[in-house]
Structure 1
Amino acid sequence: MSDTSEQVDPPDAPAEDVPQPEAATEQARTLRALLRRQAVDTRPLAIPAYRRLLVGQGTSFIGSMLTQVAVPVQVYAVSHSSFYVGLVGLAGLVPIVVFGLYGGAIADAVDRRTLYLWSSVLSWVVTLALLTQTLAGLDNVGVILALVAVQSGAFAVASSARGAIIPRLVPTDLVASANTLNFTVGNVGQVVGPLLAGVLVTLPSGFAVAYGVDAVLFTAALYSVLRLPSIRPDGTGQRLGLRSVAEGLAFIATRPVLLMSFFVDIVAMVLAMPRALFPEVADDRFGGNVGPLYAAIAIGAVIAGLGSGWIGRVRRQGVALTFAIVGWGTAVALSGLAHHLWLAVALLAVAGAADLVSAVYRQTILQTYAPDEMRGRMQGVFIAVVAGGPRLGDLRAGGTAAATSPMFSWVGGGLACVAVVAVAGVAVRSFWHYDAQAPLS
């Protein structure tokens, strides 16, 4: 009898079912191309001057975030009041508005590298003064607020100059990518800085260490500025004065696209920035663990930045900006309801991702819409809004919390932001239909 259990080799599979090397290679190429399109655009890094500026800015930003966390926490430790924490924002608001506007006018009339250097030096000196008052044990809120005011003015001038420098270092088609890299690197600092600060401020000499590390890291920014070439405005050579500032404001007022880009950001920051509430909420809900709250928004922004390849390909930037800020307000409102630290951090990270998209579009619209002779003044207004808005938001959040409760201030602000921006974004038709490839149409 024959052995019916004998092994029989199966017939060869049809040729079309066998993966071919050429097909697998093509699939790999397609996947790599897709990843490149979605990943952050790094082409501006090929420009040495921009690369040095980015590295210096990123390193120094880690240190500056140590100070930005240490100051409100130190004020709360001295006063035990969210209202006084809110006053930190007010102390920085007026100098940022005044020196942002006038600093932008200066940047349109002088060498922007020189202006950036000396304003950065002043900011570094103030950090040393914050260190000194801490080591001296003054525990004086007034002294801290005064130093914050001076540093805010220096920061506003430096930022106005830096923003006007970038379009001169990179080609126009890479401005959006350069801004994305700037915001992403800055947000890396906002992750590392607050997390490190959250540990340092719990130490007996934590505030002094935070200010000291900031002073050391800031030297990287000074070095990067020294290596920049001379950058004189190539416009009409505006003279300094209030008239120059007024011309910049009039330029914005007559262009609804620019006006709306500033308005929606003011709404987002004033109504929905919960930062001044972090020390009190962390103390009440999360055992004083404040570092993750300060880092959460930046964590989301970094993640969004790493997958930001699509941002530069969006033409309807007014629509994208509106949706980004609505997403910011929604996520902030939901995070205010969280009673678990991980959930609050996750929702604030979603808000941070939306904020990065918003920031890139606002900056890119401004830098590509305005001519070079206006860029300094446009950046001055941008800094006054971007840096002043959150400080005014600190005051609003702290004051509202003192009158009602931290939860009402946090959640209510986020919901108000959503309502205002959703209506305004659609109502201004030129903004809603803004086309990045035809900005003046």
Structure 2
Amino acid sequence: MSETPARSLRSLARRMRLDLSPLRESRDFRLLLGSNLVTQIGTLITMVAVPYQMKELTGSYLAVGLVSLAEFIPMVVCGLWGGAIADALDRRKIVIVSEVGLCLTSVLLLVNALVPAPQAWVLYVVGALAAGFGSVRGPSEQALINRVLRLDQMTAGFAIQGVIGNTAMIAGPAAGGLIVASFGPATSYGVDVATFLISLVLLVRVRTVSRLDDATPASFRSMVEGVRYALKRADLMGTYLVDIAAMAFASSNALYPFLADDLRAPKALGLLYAAGGVGSVLASLTSGWTNHVHRHGRAVIVAASGWGAAVVVAAFMPNVWLVFLFLAIAGGADMVSGLFRHTIWNQTIPDEYRGRLAGIELLSYSTGPMLGDARAGFMAQLGGTRFSLGAGGALCVGAVALMATALPKFRAYDARTDEYALAERARRAEEPATA
């Protein structure tokens, strides 16, 4: 007997519903997720407060722009080193110590804001320190999450992280803008300090997680070994290169203030910035279907192409709501790409390399948007806002197609037959059960 339309709709809804089993089954995942949420909210509040305070202190566009530049080198160096020590030391302790360091950087910002004559140079130095601590924390935190979830829960786990992270990305800056405009930078930094203290309470309750392999001592040689391992894996290189290309060409946040003016809707600037996050949240909430996909390389290619195509369409839309719609679709496609990239990473990378590869992953998805803003500004200078937005999306689609052609192993990746995925499942199966 065939299904009724109502039963078919219910079946489709169940298939698309966000899989919450990682939250139900893993106490440590809940603690890590809660810690990450409150840390992100506080960090985003500070992210709004720092450029605001720099503008108030200097009145210089250049001075504000240099804040991000001050953070770039520490992010790169500490991201790679953080990956190396994540494979050498206790990952839980690294996350906790990094969180303490981040808390102290916010204390320094608070003190600087409270003194009679706040110093602009403090914002640069502390911003660099915070970028370093955050980049050290990231690889160990991701490696911990990899160990507290089952391999078949990786996609669902990242989807839940996506809901939390993108919700914070929408709410955090809004709250940050309200706080700093109403109460000033000192209050913003004080709130950030409070969120770090809450986060630390959650982190100390996470159990120590044993390793599957012997620890690799942290050294320059171990970092090089991690890079060599990534280079020999065409599937991993595909995930990195596609993401960098997609972001470098189609990420255009720097255009939004000009795009809002072009749309004659300057007050809708926040709407444009929020569009991608809204799309990402919706994609995460309806991500249950991703558990039934096994050709993850092909899925990344399709999703990344969809991201670029949606940006192209957004460039031609005549009003702010249609632009918002297609930027949200782009954000959803980017989230789907991220789901499958993280699934490949977490289902195939051996535990002995997980930290170092997490450091490389951090760089791959952090550098793309920075390059994208630079590309967007340069192309807008040549041909205007709409030209830069649309051309960037078209270049993204072309670059992704080129990567798919040049990396057939990435394109053909199948979690059911891939040798690295099979090996990791076998290794996990041999691991003693833990409480």
> In the TM superposition, what is the alpha-carbon distance from 1:356 to its structure 2 partner?
0.9
> In the TM superposition, what is the alpha-carbon distance from 1:182 to its structure 2 partner?
0.9
> In the TM superposition, what is the alpha-carbon distance from 1:244 to its structure 2 partner?
0.3
Contact 1:335 1:348 in 2 (8 A): yes
> In the TM superposition, what is the alpha-carbon distance from 1:251 to its structure 2 partner?
0.3
Q: Aligned to 1:437, which of 416, 425, 435?
A: 416
The residue number in structure 2 matching 1:388 is 367
Q: What TM-score, normalized by structure 1, do the two folds share?
A: 0.85
Instruction: Select between 184-193 and 290-299 the one with higher mean Cα deviation.
Output: 290-299
> In the TM superposition, what is the alpha-carbon distance from 1:44 to its structure 2 partner?
0.5
Instruction: Select between 159-168 and 209-218 the one with higher mean Cα deviation.
Output: 209-218
Residue 220 to residue 409, structure 1, CA distance change in 2 (3 Å): farther
The residue number in structure 2 matching 1:162 is 141
> In the TM superposition, what is the alpha-carbon distance from 1:328 to its structure 2 partner?
1.4
Residue 212 to residue 388, structure 1, CA distance change in 2 (3 Å): farther
Q: How does 1:400-419 map to 2 (within 5 A)?
A: 400-401=379-380, 405-419=384-398
Bigger share in helix:
2
Distance in structure 2 (CA, Å) of the matches to 1:81 and 1:413:
29
Residue 88 to residue 353, structure 1, CA distance change in 2 (3 Å): farther
The residue number in structure 2 matching 1:213 is 191
- Equivalent residues, number: 418
Q: How does 1:82-97 map to 2 (within 5 A)?
A: 87-97=66-76
Residue 108 (structure 2) pairs with residue 129 (structure 1) = yes
Give the residue type in structure 1 aligned to 2:238: M
> In the TM superposition, what is the alpha-carbon distance from 1:146 to its structure 2 partner?
3.1
Q: How does 1:261-300 map to 2 (within 5 A)?
A: 261-279=239-257, 281-282=259-260, 285-300=264-279
> In the TM superposition, what is the alpha-carbon distance from 1:281 to its structure 2 partner?
4.4
The residue number in structure 1 matching 2:404 is 425
Residue 421 to residue 113, structure 1, CA distance change in 2 (3 Å): same
Instruction: Select between 118-127 and 398-407 the one with higher mean Cα deviation.
Output: 398-407
Residue 47 (structure 2) pairs with residue 48 (structure 1) = no
Distance in structure 1 (CA, Å) of the matches to 2:336 and 2:241:
16
Distance in structure 2 (CA, Å) of the matches to 1:258 and 1:325:
15
> In the TM superposition, what is the alpha-carbon distance from 1:72 to its structure 2 partner?
4.6
SS at match of 1:212: helix
> In the TM superposition, what is the alpha-carbon distance from 1:224 to its structure 2 partner?
1.9
Distance in structure 2 (CA, Å) of the matches to 1:400 and 1:82:
20
The residue number in structure 2 matching 1:176 is 155
> In the TM superposition, what is the alpha-carbon distance from 1:232 to its structure 2 partner?
4.3
Contact 1:332 1:410 in 2 (8 A): yes
> In the TM superposition, what is the alpha-carbon distance from 1:298 to its structure 2 partner?
0.9
Residue 114 to residue 366, structure 1, CA distance change in 2 (3 Å): same
Residue 220 (structure 2) pairs with residue 248 (structure 1) = no
Residue 332 to residue 105, structure 1, CA distance change in 2 (3 Å): same
Contact 1:123 1:151 in 2 (8 A): yes
The residue number in structure 1 matching 2:298 is 319
Q: Aligned to 2:127, which of 134, 148, 151?
A: 148
The residue number in structure 2 matching 1:356 is 335
Structure 2, unpaired ranges of 5+: 421-435
Distance in structure 2 (CA, Å) of the matches to 1:137 and 1:246:
47
The residue number in structure 2 matching 1:58 is 37
> In the TM superposition, what is the alpha-carbon distance from 1:124 to its structure 2 partner?
2.2
Give the residue type in structure 2 aligned to 1:98: V
SS at match of 2:215: coil
Contact 1:297 1:351 in 2 (8 A): yes
SS at match of 1:235: coil
Residue 178 (structure 2) pairs with residue 195 (structure 1) = no
> In the TM superposition, what is the alpha-carbon distance from 1:177 to its structure 2 partner?
1.1
Give the residue type in structure 2 aligned to 1:165: L
Distance in structure 2 (CA, Å) of the matches to 1:79 and 1:415:
38
Give the residue type in structure 2 aligned to 1:168: R
Distance in structure 2 (CA, Å) of the matches to 1:403 and 1:144:
33
Residue 439 to residue 78, structure 1, CA distance change in 2 (3 Å): farther
Identity %: 37
The residue number in structure 1 matching 2:86 is 107
SS at match of 2:276: helix
Q: Aligned to 1:237, which of 198, 215, 220?
A: 215
Residue 336 to residue 92, structure 1, CA distance change in 2 (3 Å): farther
Instruction: Select between 242-251 and 187-196 the one with higher mean Cα deviation.
Output: 187-196
Distance in structure 1 (CA, Å) of the matches to 2:196 and 2:320:
31
Instruction: Select between 150-159 and 204-213 the one with higher mean Cα deviation.
Output: 204-213
1:37-74 deviation line (CA, Å, top 9, x unaligned): 21010001121111121122223322222233444555
Structure 1, unpaired ranges of 5+: 1-22
Residue 30 to residue 52, structure 1, CA distance change in 2 (3 Å): farther
Residue 132 to residue 418, structure 1, CA distance change in 2 (3 Å): farther
The residue number in structure 2 matching 1:37 is 15
Give the residue type in structure 2 aligned to 1:373: E
Contact 1:175 1:364 in 2 (8 A): yes
Residue 334 to residue 207, structure 1, CA distance change in 2 (3 Å): farther
Q: What TM-score, normalized by structure 2, do the two folds share?
A: 0.86
Q: Aligned to 1:257, which of 235, 239, 255?
A: 235
Distance in structure 1 (CA, Å) of the matches to 2:381 and 2:57:
17
> In the TM superposition, what is the alpha-carbon distance from 1:280 to its structure 2 partner?
5.0
Distance in structure 2 (CA, Å) of the matches to 1:135 and 1:336:
44
> In the TM superposition, what is the alpha-carbon distance from 1:364 to its structure 2 partner?
1.4
Distance in structure 2 (CA, Å) of the matches to 1:194 and 1:225:
24
Residue 229 (structure 2) pairs with residue 224 (structure 1) = no
> In the TM superposition, what is the alpha-carbon distance from 1:137 to its structure 2 partner?
7.8
Distance in structure 2 (CA, Å) of the matches to 1:412 and 1:142:
38
SS at match of 2:266: coil
Contact 1:234 1:372 in 2 (8 A): yes
Higher gyration radius (CA) = 1
Contact 2:246 2:399 in 1 (8 A): no
Residue 81 to residue 420, structure 1, CA distance change in 2 (3 Å): farther
Residue 430 to residue 294, structure 1, CA distance change in 2 (3 Å): same
Contact 1:296 1:345 in 2 (8 A): yes
Instruction: Compute the RMSD of aligned alpha carbons.
Output: 3.0
> In the TM superposition, what is the alpha-carbon distance from 1:264 to its structure 2 partner?
0.9
